[in-house]
Structure 1
Amino acid sequence: MQRDSALDNLRAVAIISVLIIHSIDTANNLSHIGRETVDWPIYQTLRAIGRLGVPLFLMVSGALILNRLDRVSDFYRKRLLQFVALIFILPFAYDFFNVYILGHSPAANLTQILRGRSGYAYQLWYLYVAFGLYIIAPLLQAITRTSRRDLLVVLAAVPIVWNFIPSTLAVFGITTHLPYLGLEFTGIYFFYFVYGYIAYRMNFLQNVPGIAIGAALVACLSLWVISQLQWLENPVVSGDGFMWYDNIFCLISSATTFELVRRIRMRSSAAEEVSQASFAIYLWHLFPFYFLSSFSADLLGTPWWILAVLMLVSGAAFGYALYRALRKLPYLNRLVT
């Protein structure tokens, strides 16, 4: 079966985006970028770009999974069992490395893992999200089989009204008083998952010129960063502000990026290789981050962007090396593919 070059390109962009935000945030923790420096808006811009990774991954998953005709039992056996295993294995692997190799305090135990807290393997929150979406995926597949795609559009609109808009307004201090519903059918991640199918399979933006979509992306990213910088000027604020996945800026930026990259049908062996290794890189890239961070005293005074590049390259290389080493080994290949 021939691979879809557009989806490979999207996965490659998504994992690079994830590496960007994790590397620059780690670099900032080590070097503490000053808010009055020219580097501060650059850092916030890169954070916005880095936030696009998870939505893009979810969109790619939606485009692929909701178009399949797997039996429910086969789907759960292939997907959910692997995710359950990873949710329990990886936190202890990261904990072992940090405690017994680097000398840090333990951060993971069974009780915390069951509550969705994975200690040093903080990137695993994505697996909990994917786990919830995969549980309801067969139901959504049934909707696509009956050609009731209009129902998917309605379901995707619910999180926009119920989550994205209220969350964005809340940062501005405007309260909508809508009750929070912690359900997958009202959540922001559900939107990204379903939108991937709508955008890729229904192709509803096909008549919009690429230059218009690109302009919308640039404009939205600019407003996103400006809004975040303005919000951060308040010395008493806490949290991520606009830099989370539940604001309208992230929604529009992710959707336009997805559409632009989707239109690139050029096949690239490098993008295909990165795409195939993206899951392994996502799971394992933090090991070099923790190792390099243990030399924080020696790295004192190193420009943050050099630290960020070092983290990004080493994290990608480590994850890719594991992928190449384990991908053909029985059972162990489930740790990287």
Structure 2
Amino acid sequence: MTKNQYWIDFLKSLAAFAVIILHVSVPVVFEFEEKDNWWAGNFYNSLTRFCVPVFVMISGVLLLGKNEQLSVFLRKRFLRILPPFILWSLIYLALKIDYNLPLKEIFSYSIIELKGGTQFHLWYVYMIIGLYLIIPLVNKWILNSTKNELVYFLLIWLFVLLLALPIFNKLTTKIDLRYFSGYLGYLILGYFVYHFVNLKKKTGLLIFLFGFVFTLIATYYISITENDFNERFYKFLSINIVVASTGIFILFKNIIIKNRIFQKVILVLSKYSYGIYLSHIFVLILFKEIGFTYTLFNPWLSIPVLAVCCLMMSLLITFLLSKIPVIGKYISG
């Protein structure tokens, strides 16, 4: 690995930590009556909403523009994501099943849960599976496309995202623009920014801060207007999150990591980031059982403290799984 590639591992590690902060702070934003606590939740949520988009953008950098055989691509990708996903799906299912029910009902319940995800955060894996299935075809286009053709796709994708906002709803027509929607846009955006956007760190930081602050203030404004928490601007496919994700991507693209110890820490977190993602809700469930939640002290401090502890425990679990003989490297993530 060359020096300038450490930024990808750094960004992947940060995204994994950001997911944990986000999930720790989510319960707080539903306490809209408690404004002090709510602002802490809103701050950390708005700050970390780039996490999932950035994961997809990194996939765009690593997987697009490669001339790889279909069978090779599918085998490599699915051997990487499916075994850990199946393991953790079954673990979360085991925690939810009512074992007093008849076997037939347990079986039916299990099928329903596995179809939609046995824990809420596993939606990401279902989404990424869909992207992996289309990537070999998109790659053919990427390999033969010009910069202008990529811009063409991204502009229509951004327009589709804008149509989701109430102020632009009136522009909606019967033209079917679903082909330019969804997380495929982030995949292509990551590839595009990596190969064609040459902005400085400060510019990236300013773009991120704009997206973050807009999310923070817009969420407060719409919630106070409706006198109830509204998460419209938290959506990963909202235009403000696109802005924040693009900004932090540009920022990290320009970062050069020279410290050897920091490099090693980043590489470890990056290597196990998928396992950390899969296992962190399990850790948060355990923490909740022993009373270790954000309510222990001021959420401005308790949220990051709980997130760091969760990160370390999730890393440990993933590392220990990886050490299981024969199957460890396949199921750890």
Q: In structure 1, what is the Cα distance between the partners aligned to 2:37 and 2:268?
A: 33
Question: In the alignment, does 2:204 pair up with 1:203?
Answer: no
Closer/same/farther in 2, CA of residues 75 and 90 from structure 1, 3 Å limit: same
Give the equivalent residue in structure 1 for 2:24.
23
Question: In the alignment, does 2:213 pair up with 1:222?
Answer: yes
Q: In structure 2, what is the Cα distance between the partners aligned to 1:141 and 1:269?
A: 32
Q: In structure 1, what is the Cα distance between the partners aligned to 2:184 and 2:319?
A: 32
Give the equivalent residue in structure 1 for 2:162.
165
For 1:221, the aligned partner's letter is F
Normalised to the residue count of structure 2, the TM-score between the two structures is 0.84
Give the equivalent residue in structure 2 for 1:141.
139
Determine helix, strand or coil for the equivalent of 2:171: coil
Where do residues 1-337 of structure 1 align in structure 2 (5 Å cutoff)?
2=2, 4-26=5-27, 28=28, 33=31, 35=33, 37-80=35-78, 82-98=80-96, 109-114=110-115, 117-119=116-118, 121-162=119-160, 164-167=161-164, 169-170=165-166, 174-178=169-173, 183=178, 185-200=179-194, 202-204=195-197, 206=198, 208-235=199-226, 240-267=231-258, 268-296=263-291, 302-305=297-300, 307-327=302-322, 329-337=325-333
Unmatched 5+ stretches in structure 2: 100-105
Q: In structure 2, what is the Cα distance between the partners aligned to 1:68 and 1:92?
A: 34
Can you list the C-alpha shifts for 1:162-200, whole angstroms capped at 9, x where unaligned? 1x2112x22x584433469695x4223111111111111
Structure 1, 86-95 or 221-230: larger mean CA deviation = 86-95
Give the equivalent residue in structure 1 for 2:103.
none
Determine helix, strand or coil for the equivalent of 2:135: helix
Unmatched 5+ stretches in structure 1: none
For 1:190, the aligned partner's letter is L
Kindly indicate whether the alpha-carbon contact (under 8 Å) linking 1:88 and 1:113 is maintained by their aligned counterparts in 2.
no
Can you list the C-alpha shifts for 1:264-297, whole angstroms capped at 9, x where unaligned? 0214222222111111100101112111222459
Can you list the C-alpha shifts for 1:286-311, whole angstroms capped at 9, x where unaligned? 11211122245998664334542453
Normalised to the residue count of structure 1, the TM-score between the two structures is 0.83
For 2:56, the aligned partner's letter is L
Tell me the CA shift for residue 87 of structure 1. Answer: 4.6
Percentage identity across paired residues of the two chains: 19
Q: In structure 1, what is the Cα distance between the partners aligned to 2:293 and 2:67?
A: 54
Supply the RMSD in Å over aligned alpha carbons. Answer: 3.0
Kindly indicate whether the alpha-carbon contact (under 8 Å) linking 2:201 and 2:252 is maintained by their aligned counterparts in 1.
no
For 2:180, the aligned partner's letter is T
Closer/same/farther in 2, CA of residues 298 and 262 from structure 1, 3 Å limit: closer
Structure 1, 137-146 or 191-200: larger mean CA deviation = 137-146
Closer/same/farther in 2, CA of residues 301 and 81 from structure 1, 3 Å limit: closer
Kindly indicate whether the alpha-carbon contact (under 8 Å) linking 1:188 and 1:245 is maintained by their aligned counterparts in 2.
no
Closer/same/farther in 2, CA of residues 173 and 209 from structure 1, 3 Å limit: closer
Q: In structure 2, what is the Cα distance between the partners aligned to 1:73 and 1:132?
A: 16
Can you list the C-alpha shifts for 1:11-36, whole angstroms capped at 9, x where unaligned? 0121111111011124x28xx74545
Count of matched residue pairs? 320
Structure 1, 235-244 or 245-254: larger mean CA deviation = 235-244
